[in-house]
Structure 1
């Protein structure tokens, strides 16, 4: 595996060097060009598994974004006084630590296209934590998504390569629901971008209070108890794990770690990546906060890299939508969940409406975000909804390995219980495994819906079964929700009343949909 190790790993600096450089900040340095010698040799940049994946999905073996950053340019940055940390071949850029005088010299270099601040160095106290094995039963999310269909058909994501990028995997090797992954050698590779020298203690030593977050996420994707009770859907997948987030601090300076890890996973043939990380606001230095308008899928470096991953590399990225839905001055999805091609996942209540915290899609995007939603498997947070969708998607890849990431996403969206009447609260709603499998087999997508017109109220003369979801989304236009509710029915059915700010209302009762246009 070492022969495919990206240049960024060789350039990563130690934690101590970062911490000592108190006067420096972190920057992205973008280059104007690349060395194009030997560009038709993908085997120098990709593993056999990656080449096999590209051939299967009819993705070009060689791409300009696979060519490494010029070593001469990196040496020139070092000669100018910068400490290079990550070289991104996709962005044709390098992140580095430097003071203002050094950055002035770098800006003057003839091959430098742009220099942008990335943030301050990571310097923080480390807090020990104790791993916790979550014993919540595997059930509600699976029931919502009709995912027992996958289990009944013995779809377990067998040998699908999954990447997980998170804040840490402390305790994973001793977690009773994940131990089998280690016993069966299903953890193929690990990378700690925050503390690059850590390898033997990757699973056994905690540096921050969030170092077991990725362990819980992994359990939601692939957890299996010793008595074969499932806590995740992808129980026969194989995994690459990367830690890119310092759990006790928030910096833009971690975005390059995420990008580097994604490039690493792609080079190894990973088909699907799950990440619970998002970048928007709440940074330790408020000057690093993004504005809502920058969540447009193309402004942030992390979103630009995610766009390359989905449009050029054939990767299926599953990204938690974010937990800012109730934040007064934000509310919307964070980067990279804002990218059109990623599968952004929101969180629902058990009743199937949006949780108060789940981030919504911004008004200015010409596409729908989030894409789908489901109830979190444990606790709260879109971090624990996304892994359920990742396992779901990995099983679909096993069922139809030649389908592209876009085709898998389309099947998941079209199987949603709100399709085609998606909204910016929960996207196309909760996916249905049986429907998704049929869609991948070429059957008609989605359910029919009735469009009706009404003035002040509309009676839907239908009774709901005890276990059927019922939900109402009042909207100001086709997708923007202004209010949601779980309707109360009686023997006559459901009386839907017009919301004062609504131009239309979507009503879900079991498997049936109505769109009421208010006159």
Structure 2
């Protein structure tokens, strides 16, 4: 298979210069023109002269981000949304520290220097709460490629086994593919994403809505590593008979937050900056196949007691992202057959969906990190297939690989389908249903968590909560309509045949669903229809229902 390379959209296509100014100060300067070896996280006591009333919503967030928060009943804006006070940043910058990025949520700024600097002067500033050195010139540890994943070429087990295990095929067959949902993928690089065949449709429809590299401070992410490419192929890829992405209709923001050349806590700051940026753009889901626990400098290592949902910088940032209405899905880690054994941050967050990995027989893999978290939360939350998962990183070859890095996007992509099917469901609703629709819900443990979720049941639970049942078999609304009709059923139709006739009785549209598990359906392809009267005939095993509708414009 040979595909045409289509370079995806970059961030300037989707955000305003004002948002760039507030969220990413200095990011369009010349980048890392020097060799900065030491990074400092500066915690501020307050936000100085900045007040919530000084900013309009459009200064801080896109309309999509505001809508997501309103849906979840979240105050907007709040103090975490306003920028770090520029006067504080400027005073520190004037003393020889170079600004790299900021975190509005954490009220911190990340600075860097070429050589170690005395931080005592910073600690004596009245507005500085604390300063931590989070990257130094320590030699890299022996792990030559921390995001390494092996691949093999095989056609066994069946390519669609991971999707079927989640009962995801029937969700797809019912017309749900994540359309209208925005997923931010945080990773270490997306090498060859602009070329591989499984993402050709995604590229051609301009489904990649933004890219940014928080390590090097520019828009280019199509290098560095193929780990993110593999993840994206699981989410949005499609090669008939070889790979079936879980959310092929979703849109994506690709964010490089991982420095693949070393391992230091500074990457938690990049992750937080990426999550805040995704929030500001209105992302519905963060899919992160990254994690933190030990570092190149052992003196910076975390202890298991830090995996308590509140201690690590990245976990606190992930929980704040969830508090903004974002569904945060993170790999549990691949450490159970190593010294660490346990889950890794930010999967310990109480509002983060931590995903473990099972094999094709639904048995937990030897590597999938064990829970619970230190504070005894059930972790991982759920599990999906993470052994012999179809991925693509080469231009025309689909291979198999494993790890919780690849069980994670199976879950996050299917959650996008649920968001499409039940627009009113919040991230908290989806997490609760993920748990209760999993096969170990009544006996969760430290390996599987609540178990393997059934996404047809997740949909059913949420539609029972959010969809009003018609008194009769079905309803069609609005009527009159413009370009979109919503059909609501009293019961799950199981099979569905849709026929639309014009006033002369001519059949002008026909759709068949051999498996249809949803109680709702949106038809949005009326744009080219003339104004006038139409008849919608719905055929189900429970009966045939006909509705007269009026289209009022073209």
TM-score class, shorter: 0.7 to 0.9
Secondary structure at the aligned position of 2:383 is classed as strand
Report the equivalent of 1:38.
53
> What are the within-5 Å matches in structure 2 for residues 482-501 of structure 1?
none
Distance 1:363 1:91, change over 3 A: closer
| Greater share of strand | 2
Q: Deviations over 1:323-367 (max 9, x none)?
A: 011113x21111100101000000012222211110011363232
User: What whole-Å deviation, never above 9, does each CA across 1:95-149 have from its counterpart, x for those lacking one?
Assistant: 112466541111111111111221226998x99x9x9998865311112111112
Distance 1:265 1:228, change over 3 A: farther
- Alignment equivalent of 1:308, drawn from 320, 323, 347: 320
Cα pair distance change 1:186/1:357, threshold 3 Å: same
Pairing partner for 1:179 from 184, 200, 205:
200
Equivalent position SS for 1:352: coil
Show the counterpart of 2:131. 115
Aligned-pair CA distance for 1:380: 1.4
Aligned pair 1:404/2:426, yes or no? yes
- CA 1:123–1:79: 2 relative to 1, 3 Å: farther
The 1:135/1:176 distance shift into structure 2, 3 A limit, reads: farther
Aligned-residue offset at 1:247: 2.0
Of residues 56, 65, 78, the one that matches 2:80 is 65
Q: Distance in 1 between matches of 2:449 and 2:62?
A: 36
2:277 corresponding residue in structure 1: 264
> How far is 1:409 from its partner?
1.0
The equivalent position to 1:433 in structure 2, one of 455, 461, 480, is 455
> Any conservation in 1 of the 2:272–2:317 contact (CA below 8 Å)?
yes
Residue 88 (structure 1) aligned with residue 103 (structure 2): yes
Aligned to 1:298: 310
Contact 1:80/1:106 (CA < 8 Å) preserved in 2? no
Q: What is the rounded CA distance, in whole Å, between the counterparts of 1:121 and 1:71 in structure 2?
A: 29
Show structure 2 runs of 5+ residues with no match. Answer: 1-14, 390-399, 466-554
Instruction: Count matched residues.
Output: 429
* Alpha-carbon distance in 1 for matches of 2:21, 2:406: 30
Report the TM-score when normalising by structure 1. 0.78
Kept in 1: contact 2:55–2:82 (CA 8 A): no
Secondary structure of the residue aligned to 1:242 is: strand
> Is the Cα–Cα contact under 8 Å of residues 97 and 121 in structure 1 kept in the other structure?
no
Q: For 2:170, which of 149, 153, 168 is the aligned residue?
A: 149
SS at match of 1:141: helix
Q: Aligned partners of 2:57 and 2:139: how far apart in 1?
A: 38
Unmatched 5+ stretches in structure 1: 444-519
Residue 319 (str. 1) matches residue 330 (str. 2): yes
Q: CA deviation at 1:252?
A: 1.5
Q: Distance in 1 between matches of 2:87 and 2:277?
A: 22
From the superposition, tell whether residues 190 and 265 of structure 1 become closer, same or farther in structure 2 (CA, over 3 Å). same
TM-score normalised to structure 2 length: 0.73
2:185: which partner in 1? 164
**Do the aligned partners of residues 188 and 348 (structure 1) sit closer, same or farther apart at CA in structure 2, a change above 3 Å counting?**
same
Classify 1:135/1:237 alpha carbon distance in 2 versus 1 (closer, same or farther; 3 Å): farther
Write the distance in 1 (CA, Å) between the matches of 2:151 and 2:206.
23
Change (3 A) 1:45 1:340: same
- 1:255-288 deviation per Cα after TM superposition (whole angstroms, max 9, x unaligned): 111110100000000000100110001x222222
- Whether the aligned pair in 2 keeps the contact of 1:82 and 1:102 (CA below 8 Å) is no
2:118 and 2:449 mapped to 1: Cα distance?
Answer: 46
Residue 238 of structure 2 aligns with which residue? 224
Q: Which secondary structure state, in structure 2, belongs to the residue aligned with residue 116 of structure 1?
A: strand
RMSD of aligned alpha carbons: 2.7
Q: 1:122 to 1:259 in 2, by over 3 A?
A: farther
Change (3 A) 1:213 1:363: closer
Secondary structure of the 1:38 match is helix
1:363-403 residue CA offsets vs partner (Å, 9 max, x unmatched): 63232110000112241110000000011111000011111
How far does residue 82 in structure 1 lie from its aligned partner after superposition?
1.2
